[in-house]
Structure 1
Amino acid sequence: MPYSALTKSTAIIITLLVIIGILAGIAWWGWSRTPGPATTTTAPPTTTTTTTAPPQAELVIYHWWTAGGEREAINAVFQVFKQNYPNIQIVENPVAGGAGSVMKSVIIGLLAAGTPPDTFQVHAGAELKEYVDAGYLAPIDDIWSELGLDKVIPSTLQAMCKFNGHYYAVPINVHRSNVLWYNPKIFNELGIIDKFGDPRSWSIDTLLEVARYIKQQRPDIAPIALASRNKWPVTHLFEVLLANAGGPETYVKFFTGKFNYNDPNDPVAQTVKKVLTVMATMAKEGLFNSNHPELTWDQAAALVAEGKAAMYIHGDWVAGYYIANNYKYGEDWAAAPFPKNIFILLSDSFELPENAPHPEAAKDWLMVVGSKEAQEKFNLIKGSIPARTDVSPEYPDPYRPETAEDFQKSTLIPSAVHGGIAKEAFMTDLHNILTSMLTAVSVGTPVDSAVNTALTQILQSVETSGLVSFWEGYTIDHFITKR
């Protein structure tokens, strides 16, 4: 066989053998990569778990407790709430301004804009009714039922929380607005009680006589402390003097517009004129502290405890202020209901707005507000007494046991200044009228002229503010618990 032919055949055979070897190698590699069922080892799957904490619930709340005593009191309730509902964050919005004078406009703006908080502080009575009438609040009958409040809250206060057959607020306390605070050292030095008797039975004529006597004996101090910076304390003084001078029925008739306001000689109008005359006379004769336009209610209270004023007519939250600032009862301050047989009632409360962002948290808050624990802790600090009659704290002062007893025995009427009975528009007018009257007298306007102007403006406001129609269908007996 020629050499060239052999070489060619050999090359072909060799090439074929190489190709077969390659294919066999590939087949073996692929077989070796396929796991057999008898020798399979399966590693456990790796799982990555991401734990996302649920969003923390919130309670958006507005209140006006910022002064000494009241700040500590609401903090005590917050603490009770946190212990019971640790997963709810309190978003607190305190708005300074006594009696809610500033916060009310803030709340109205939020409600009108459709962005309500979960709850807010409100006075039971007329103030609460205005929000109910506007459709801003949801009924909370279930809260009252679960807490059994109808069995432990007096009927007068129940009526201040209930409208159109439904409850709309849970009261946390009861305050008395008609209290005369005085400095015991000054009273003892001048023999005030020996000379004029127990302040619990003083008339407004006796009060004026006492103030003049103090001015004569101690011209270096103010006989009566006053704060007119926020105006409402002036109206507070008027409210107490009116109840003293006219009694419960005249008081209620005036603040509900249930008298002949077109006749200045009407008996109710004449009693109002007498009170205006006493207040204007006090301003004219320098019986108030001269810096009253600069002071807030708590600063006026401090004047008595510090011996710079002899007396102060204001609500019993003053006791909370004195206790918080370590003033001593019997040395720096003492108190007497003025008068004792009348209890001018006001109550701070909380409610549930319609479309509240966190309604369940709001209901939890209301359950705490109405509880025995919260009411005891709050009122011990605040200077008030519990709204629940089945809570009896051991008070650190002798004043409040007397108040608690009078709450059960004295004639009850709602406070107008603190939202209990009068329409807000009328009260705003009254704040301005009374403050302007005192200012006019202090710059030389004769008392009679200033009083007549104020009386005319007040009677006009009764008609124009909507006061008369606000309580249409209600009798004065609705507002008075006679005892």
Structure 2
Amino acid sequence: MRDRWRAVGALTAISCLTVASCDGDVGDENQGPQQVEVYSWGSSESQRLAFDDLSAEFEENHPDLQVVNPAEEMESRDQAQSILESRLSQGDPPAAFQSRAGAGLSDYVEDGYVAPLDDVYDATSLADALPEELVEQLAYRGTVGEDQEPDGDEESGNGDEPVPDAEDGPFYTVPVSIRRSNLLWYNPDVLEDAGVRGAVTTLGDFLDALEAVEEETNAVPLALGPGWTVDHLLENMLLASLGAEEYNELWGPTADWTTTEVEEALDVFSEVLEHTEQIDEDQGWQGAAEAVADGSAAFFVMGDWAVAHYEEMGLVPREDYGWVPTPGTEGVYLWLADGFSRPAGAGDGSGDADAWLEFAASREGQDVINPAVGAIPARTDADLEAYTESEYLSWALAQWQEAELAGSFWHGASASVTWREGVDSALRTYLRDEDIAAFQDELEAQARDASAHLIDAPAED
């Protein structure tokens, strides 16, 4: 591993912020429309503008309601998330809040901060519009808090806490925007200088290309950003080595990290790390993305939010930068999803929270926000014309229709915050000691603790 790489720092947990709605009085002609607090923590200009577009379209459809985002003027995402969590814990919830769909919301579920959304799914027939695998992976499989009403009466593996019926769900997030984690960004000119010809599609291709860049150019083979980008690389290498089915099993109730296959995946990860260099972490992940753009690095493994950054830089796709699925993951979408959740007790029967959630679930709502934010809709019936201006989005939408799905552990789709932090802790120890056997043992210990209370998805008929 290169000397300039520093150990991974502690990560700021990705909270499940969301859209929220105030419990304002229904206005008369003088008071105006009722305010709906939708708590949205998007911090970039494109995210805020996209949310404004969604809000404006919602208000056009619901002229008696006005969306208010209390996080809009906050200085940072961390501040917004902290205030939201405080409000939830104090019983002062908004109507809805932005969340990361999947297991990352489990702490809120277990604390009784969020309510199931099965009624919204039923009212909008949302499950019928989503990929079947996504529906299965969105269904909550863990314990629920005292204030929740589980669908079943089974007992969890951790004691006497009730768990939801594995056959039904429930669902706690309306997924709106799909992101892809498993993408390899590259500089075409650097690869040409290195003599790399053709697509880099397999792990063997990738390792050969890294070595060629190291030997033939002055560029960094694989750029890294802040500490969490190494966790991001880890999930990509696990998926590339194991495939979607075995990767998904790592985050389920029968998780087994002791296998030879996992050992081999960690060996590949270790080998790839030998060709990495951390770009100034004060520049964030954007610094590593820019290193690829300016030719000081050849590759960078990052999610598709990199597209918006490259577009803001005025770069031309396929000329100034290119992308492929992370080698070894062709045909698999390592997904994460932003959406909205409903706090427990929100709405007070006024219907404002449900109105927002149902609009966010709709084809109309998803086709408003996603082209503007640089993402694709969770639904499979999107208006394709809305995405044709972006070469990346057109490509991604076509991929989404047919891909196998695997949930990103790092970005909250397949692992709880506690589990994710445990993996990060094990990784930081490995980067310091470089003991891969101990790393695998610690990953197994973390999985054993975190998966003990999970239940599996229902068997197919």
- Equivalences for residues 94-173 of structure 1 within 5 A: 107-163=84-140, 164=164, 165=168, 166-173=170-177
One-letter amino acid matched to 2:66: I
Question: What is the CA-CA distance between 1:85 and the residue it aligns to?
Answer: 4.0
Question: What is the CA-CA distance between 1:252 and the residue it aligns to?
Answer: 1.9
Q: Percent identity?
A: 25
Which of 351, 362, 367 aligns to 2:353? It is 362
Q: Secondary structure at the match of 2:357?
A: helix
Question: What is the CA-CA distance between 1:436 and the residue it aligns to?
Answer: 4.8
Provide the C-alpha distance between the structure 1 equivalents of 2:318 and 2:256, rounded to a whole number of angstroms: 45
Change (3 A) 1:160 1:275: same
- CA deviations 1:80-112 (Å, max 9, x no partner) are 234334541413315787xx7776665444322
Change (3 A) 1:238 1:370: same
1:345 maps to 2:344: no
Provide the C-alpha distance between the structure 2 equivalents of 1:103 and 1:279, rounded to a whole number of angstroms: 36
2:443 aligns with 458
1:322 maps to 2:315: no
2:205 aligns with 206
1:92 aligns with 70
1:180 aligns with 184
One-letter amino acid matched to 2:44: A
Provide the C-alpha distance between the structure 2 equivalents of 1:298 and 1:290, rounded to a whole number of angstroms: 10
Change (3 A) 1:397 1:357: closer
**Larger-gyration structure (1/2):** 1
Q: Secondary structure at the match of 1:389?
A: coil
Question: What is the CA-CA distance between 1:172 and the residue it aligns to?
Answer: 0.8
Q: Secondary structure at the match of 1:418?
A: coil
Question: What is the CA-CA distance between 1:135 and the residue it aligns to?
Answer: 2.7
Q: Which runs of 5+ in 1 are unaligned?
A: 1-50, 479-483
Q: Which runs of 5+ in 2 are unaligned?
A: 1-27, 141-163
How many residues were matched structurally?
Answer: 399
Question: What is the CA-CA distance between 1:313 and the residue it aligns to?
Answer: 0.8
Provide the C-alpha distance between the structure 1 equivalents of 2:352 and 2:412, rounded to a whole number of angstroms: 26
2:287 aligns with 299
Change (3 A) 1:191 1:80: farther
One-letter amino acid matched to 1:134: D
Provide the C-alpha distance between the structure 2 equivalents of 1:384 and 1:73, rounded to a whole number of angstroms: 11
One-letter amino acid matched to 1:387: A
More deviation, 394-403/333-342: 394-403
Which of 433, 436, 452 aligns to 1:469? It is 452
Paired residues of 1:222 and 1:289 also in contact (CA < 8 A): no
Provide the C-alpha distance between the structure 1 equivalents of 2:451 and 2:139, rounded to a whole number of angstroms: 20
Which of 239, 244, 258 aligns to 2:254? It is 258
Change (3 A) 1:188 1:427: same
Which of 399, 402, 427 aligns to 1:409? It is 402
Paired residues of 1:69 and 1:321 also in contact (CA < 8 A): no
Provide the C-alpha distance between the structure 2 equivalents of 1:272 and 1:470, rounded to a whole number of angstroms: 26
Question: What is the CA-CA distance between 1:145 and the residue it aligns to?
Answer: 3.4
Q: CA RMSD in A?
A: 2.9
Change (3 A) 1:456 1:342: same
Q: Secondary structure at the match of 1:331?
A: coil
One-letter amino acid matched to 2:301: I
1:235 aligns with 231
Provide the C-alpha distance between the structure 2 equivalents of 1:209 and 1:64, rounded to a whole number of angstroms: 41
Question: What is the CA-CA distance between 1:331 and the residue it aligns to?
Answer: 2.0
Change (3 A) 1:65 1:303: farther
Q: Secondary structure at the match of 1:420?
A: coil
More deviation, 133-142/365-374: 133-142
1:274 aligns with 267
Provide the C-alpha distance between the structure 2 equivalents of 1:269 and 1:92, rounded to a whole number of angstroms: 44
Provide the C-alpha distance between the structure 2 equivalents of 1:69 and 1:328, rounded to a whole number of angstroms: 18
1:222 aligns with 220
Question: What is the CA-CA distance between 1:452 and the residue it aligns to?
Answer: 3.8
1:313 maps to 2:301: yes
Q: Secondary structure at the match of 1:172?
A: strand
